[in-house]
Amino acid sequence: MRFSKLFIPTLKEEPAEAEIISHKLLFRAGMVRKVASGVYSFLPLGFKVLKKIERIIREEMDAIGAQEILMPALQPSEIWVESGRWSEYGPEMWRVKDRNDRDFCLGPTHEELVTSLVMGEVRSYRQLPQTFYQIQMKFRDEIRPRFGLMRAREFLMKDAYSFNADLEDLERSYTDMDRAYTRIFQRCGFNFRSVEAASGLIGGKVSREFMILAESGEDTVFYCDSCDYAASADVATTRLIEPPKEAARPTIKVSTPGKKSVTEVSAFLGVPQEKLVKTLVYRFEDSIAAVLMRGGREVNESKLSAILGTTRFHLLGEGEFREVDLVPGYVGPVGLREGVRLIADDEVALLTNFVVGANEEDAHLKDVNIGVDFQVEEWGDLKLAEEGEPCPQCAGGKLLSAKSIEAGHIFQLGTRYSEAMGASFVAENGERKPYIMGCYGIGVSRMVAAAIEQYHDDAGILWPVSIAPFEIEIVPLKWDDGAIRKTAEELYEGLLAKGIEALLDDRSESPGKKFADADLIGIPVQIIIGPRSIVSGNAEIKVRSTAERSEAPIADAVDESVRILKNLFRAIAGE
RNA sequence: CGGGAUGUAGCGCAGCUUGGUCAGCGCGCCUGCUUUGGGAGCAGGAGGCCGGCGGUUCAAAUCCGCCCAUCCCGACCA
């Protein structure tokens, strides 16, 4: 492709709006333009990257036998009412009406649609398993779109759905996907980690996220420094250290005037934080839940959400305590009023003779014990993991954390949708059974931004070869010079003949402008032809990512640059 | 939703406090000449309902009100 024939509106100055580096560079390199908050157009260069990523995804999906289809973005409300998500999904769902006032939405995801498609067609276990995928725009009216393509309201997603006859079959589809995803992220050149994840609203139990490591990431992952344990912050846990057991002492009430927080009470009573149990009160729907947590620990609200079965809950505000007849700062499990759902973090089970709120103003209870002073019906892991804590999987390992960008997520869904929608098949024994489903997503447009977050320098983008918009760029420094032009044209033809995706900067711009643009758009290999080259007979080859420069006789420049390019591909493949 | 900020030429900004030759600068764009190894120089030029609506005033980019858009922060850890 010739630069002059491509619309690449590069900018010298960065847009005031952009906050993170990928957003700035996508804009400056002329790859995207904003249409509205969280809504973007892809320009030719940006679209090429998108297509390169899509191609890798298609190859890996096809390789595991997933079949590409295309479902509509526009979906009728009926199927969402059937699954129960028309009301569950909330304002994030983009709802629209047709001229006859019928409700539709712009699909935020496609479980309902694909289930309704399959249930009409796939009737027998003989037709299973089936896995479908599509690459399509998704619509989510995010609370706060931000960071350009990173959190957009309209974005490109690859979503896949497997329909399986039983759990073992689902396991196979899921494992295939897991491997395909790993290959996709490897081939795109990402530094990523696959981690245990929470399932959230979508349902199901087993799920893994594919996290691209980047400082600007909105998510946190924890991983072990000595084994392969890795989990998103939503589900990460830690090995509990059991404190020495003490014989239960009789409870005594102590006066703690004005001392409410764990640190205050701990200091005031001279009791270590680890011997305090705090009682956090949440309101959800029309109920109240109290969470018992060891002092010094934080509640992981994702874990709580999974237990409560809703994301709509909040910690009680100062004013709300009176309404529900509780004493702020002094709530405790002993003598807790009726009607409060008590959930304890499993670490609390290890404690003896601890301190809790007394459910009255300015007082705490000391030497409290479970089973003696109160009972707990509901236990769970509700802790927020922290860096440096012991690994839950191996002995001696420590948890490290990193910021990351969620780029892929795979779920074993089970029958959440098939049951709700009455989608079933006839099994081998003649019984009707709901499909066992899995769903598998990749944020394709987000990957474009994530790649830049991971690969850039002060001058611009450093595309991994596999997803770069072009593979080799020829930079003739003086286009109006006949010898330079002729040389550049010959190199260009030579590269094209070898099937290389080559970009020829055939503009009559100054050398400075051409260098700057080439570095900005980040094509992995540059061949520079200037007056010097004509004198010396050597072309200069520069690797964008490492800034390594080498010289090659012009006659060999095609072969040499292709050799360098192949090496870059091999580096990504880990060879 | 709550809080903060911004909106002036395609992009980046100044001007607003102290209403009145304040419609300005840089980049980009157009024309011509000269240039060409890290965003060239000179000369000339085009381009703006100063986010929208309403108000105050003899007079509004500037003061007031409402609205819209965009960006940032936050979701209360007893």
Please name every residue paired with A280 in a beta bridge, in sequence order, or none if there are none. Answer: A291
Dist. CA A41–CA A501, nearest whole Å: 23
Token readout for A373 is 């002073």
Q: Which nucleotide is nearest to A512 (CA to C1')?
A: B38
Q: Which nucleotide is nearest to A384 (CA to C1')?
A: B77
Chain centroid, CA A337 distance in Å: 41
Q: Which nucleotide is nearest to A290 (CA to C1')?
A: B78
**Average pLDDT of the residues in A515-527:** 97
Chain centroid, CA A431 distance in Å: 39
| Residues A300/A306/A309/A313 CA torsion (nearest 10 deg) | 10
Rounded CA–C1' distance between A146 and B59, in angstroms:
43
Locus of tokens 């490109």:
A156
Token readout for A472 is 């080799």
Lowest pLDDT segment from A47-51, A198-202, A323-327, A542-546: A198-202
Q: Residues A357, A363, A365, A366: is their CA dihedral positive or negative?
A: positive
Nearest CA to A13 among A22, A25, A1? A25
> Which pLDDT score is estimated for A314?
81
Please name every residue paired with A255 in a beta bridge, in sequence order, or none if there are none. Answer: A363
Rounded CA–C1' distance between A13 and B70, in angstroms:
18
Q: Per 3-state DSSP, what percentage of chain A is helix, strand, and coil (rounded to 5)?
A: 30, 30, 40
Rounded CA–C1' distance between A314 and B75, in angstroms:
9
Please name every residue paired with A74 in a beta bridge, in sequence order, or none if there are none. Answer: A106
> Which pLDDT score is estimated for A226?
92
Q: What is the largest CA-CA distance in chain A?
A: 98
Q: Which nucleotide is nearest to A331 (CA to C1')?
A: B78
Rounded CA–C1' distance between A51 and B30, in angstroms:
36
Chain centroid, CA A178 distance in Å: 15
Please compute, for residue A482, the number of CA atoms within 13 A of its CA located in the half-sphere on the CB side. Answer: 0
Q: Please say whether the beta carbons of A472 and A532 come within 8 A.
A: no
Q: Transcribe A323-368 into DSSP letters.
A: HTT--TT---STTPPTTEEEEEEGGGGG--SEEEE-SSTTEEEEEE
Token readout for A55 is 């191609």
Rounded CA–C1' distance between A500 and B37, in angstroms:
26
Angle at A140 between CA A136 and CA A145, to 5 degrees: 115
Tens digit of pLDDT for each residue in A298-349? 888 888 888 887 777 888 776 677 777 888 888 899 988 888 889 999 999 9
Rounded CA–C1' distance between A91 and B54, in angstroms:
33
- Say how many C-beta atoms besides its own lie within 10 A of residue A250's C-beta: 10
| Residues A191/A196/A201/A204 CA torsion (nearest 10 deg) | 130
In A318-471, DSSP assigns E strands to: 340-345, 354-357, 363-368, 378-380, 399-414, 424-426, 432-434, 436-443, 456-457, 460-461
> Which pLDDT score is estimated for A200?
63
User: Does residue A328 approach strand B to less than 7 Å at its CB?
Assistant: yes
**Average pLDDT of the residues in A200-216:** 81
User: Does residue A132 approach strand B to less than 7 Å at its CB?
Assistant: no
> Which pLDDT score is estimated for A203?
59
Please report, rounded to a whole number, the percentage of residues in chain A having pLDDT higher than 70.
99
Q: Which nucleotide is nearest to A145 (CA to C1')?
A: B71
At A457, the pLDDT band (50, 70, 90 cuts) reads: very high
Dist. CA A527–CA A556, nearest whole Å: 12
Rounded CA–C1' distance between A314 and B76, in angstroms:
9
Rounded CA–C1' distance between A4 and B46, in angstroms:
24
Does the A470-572 domain belong in CATH 3.40.50.800? Answer: yes
Nearest CA to A408 among A193, A563, A216? A193
- Say how many C-beta atoms besides its own lie within 10 A of residue A177's C-beta: 26
Token readout for A244 is 């020495």
Please give the protein residue whose CA is closest to the C1' of the nucleotide B35.
A510
Rounded CA–C1' distance between A9 and B46, in angstroms:
20
* Radius of gyration, alpha carbons of chain A: 29
Tens digit of pLDDT for each residue in A460-499? 999 999 999 999 999 999 999 999 999 999 999 999 999 9
Rounded CA–C1' distance between A29 and B74, in angstroms:
33
A252-380, CATH topology level: YbaK protein (3.90.960)
Dist. CA A335–CA A374, nearest whole Å: 8
| Chain A 38-97, CB < 7 Å to strand B | 38
User: Does residue A535 approach strand B to less than 7 Å at its CB?
Assistant: no
Q: Which nucleotide is nearest to A517 (CA to C1')?
A: B39
Dist. CA A165–CA A155, nearest whole Å: 32
**Average pLDDT of the residues in A195-202:** 75
Please give the protein residue whose CA is closest to the C1' of the nucleotide B28.
A11
Nearest CA to A196 among A162, A161, A237? A237
Q: Please say whether the beta carbons of A387 and A238 come within 8 A.
A: no
Tens digit of pLDDT for each residue in A373-408? 999 988 989 988 888 899 999 999 999 999 999 999
User: Does residue A274 approach strand B to less than 7 Å at its CB?
Assistant: no
Rounded CA–C1' distance between A555 and B39, in angstroms:
31
| Chain A 494-533, CB < 7 Å to strand B | 508-513, 515-520, 528-533
Strand B nucleotides in reach of protein CB atoms, 7 A cut-off? 1, 11-13, 26-28, 35-40, 69-78
Domains A16-190+415-453 and A252-380 alike in fold: no
Q: Please say whether the beta carbons of A446 and A405 come within 8 A.
A: yes
> Which pLDDT score is estimated for A218?
87
User: Does residue A10 approach strand B to less than 7 Å at its CB?
Assistant: yes
Chain centroid, CA A514 distance in Å: 36
Nearest CA to A446 among A230, A231, A214? A214
At A194, the pLDDT band (50, 70, 90 cuts) reads: very high
Q: Is the pLDDT of residue A423 over 70?
A: yes
Please report, rounded to a whole number, the percentage of residues in chain A having pLDDT higher than 90.
74
In chain A, what are the domain boundaries? Answer: 16-190+415-453, 252-380, 470-572
Rounded CA–C1' distance between A378 and B55, in angstroms:
63
At A68, the pLDDT band (50, 70, 90 cuts) reads: very high
At A234, the pLDDT band (50, 70, 90 cuts) reads: confident
Dist. CA A137–CA A147, nearest whole Å: 18
Rounded CA–C1' distance between A18 and B50, in angstroms:
23
Please give the protein residue whose CA is closest to the C1' of the nucleotide B36.
A510
> Which pLDDT score is estimated for A157?
96
At A201, the pLDDT band (50, 70, 90 cuts) reads: low
Dist. CA A541–CA A65, nearest whole Å: 41
> Which pLDDT score is estimated for A311?
73
> What is the rounded average pLDDT for all residues in chain A?
92
Q: Which nucleotide is nearest to A532 (CA to C1')?
A: B37
| Chain A 454-483, CB < 7 Å to strand B | 459, 477-478, 480
| Chain A 285-314, CB < 7 Å to strand B | 293, 298-299, 301, 314
Chain centroid, CA A195 distance in Å: 10
User: Collapsing DSSP states into helix, strand and coil, what is residue A476?
Assistant: strand
Token readout for A410 is 């795979």
Rounded CA–C1' distance between A265 and B44, in angstroms:
79
Q: Is the pLDDT of residue A92 over 70?
A: yes
Architecture of domain A16-190+415-453: 2-Layer Sandwich (3.30)
Tens digit of pLDDT for each residue in A94-127? 999 999 999 999 999 999 999 999 998 999 999 9
> Which pLDDT score is estimated for A338?
82
Rounded CA–C1' distance between A460 and B39, in angstroms:
13
CB neighbour burial string for A3-32, b if at least 16 within 10 angstroms, e if fewer: beeeebebeeeeeeebebbbbbbbbbbbbb
At A202, the pLDDT band (50, 70, 90 cuts) reads: low
> Which pLDDT score is estimated for A444?
96
Structure letter (DSSP) for residue A201: G
Backbone conformation region of residue A307, classed left if phi is above 0, alpha if psi is from -120 to 50, else beta: alpha
Please name every residue paired with A221 in a beta bridge, in sequence order, or none if there are none. Answer: A232, A402
Rounded CA–C1' distance between A54 and B73, in angstroms:
35
Rounded CA–C1' distance between A14 and B5, in angstroms:
19
Nearest CA to A163 among A216, A107, A120, A201? A120
Q: Which nucleotide is nearest to A301 (CA to C1')?
A: B77
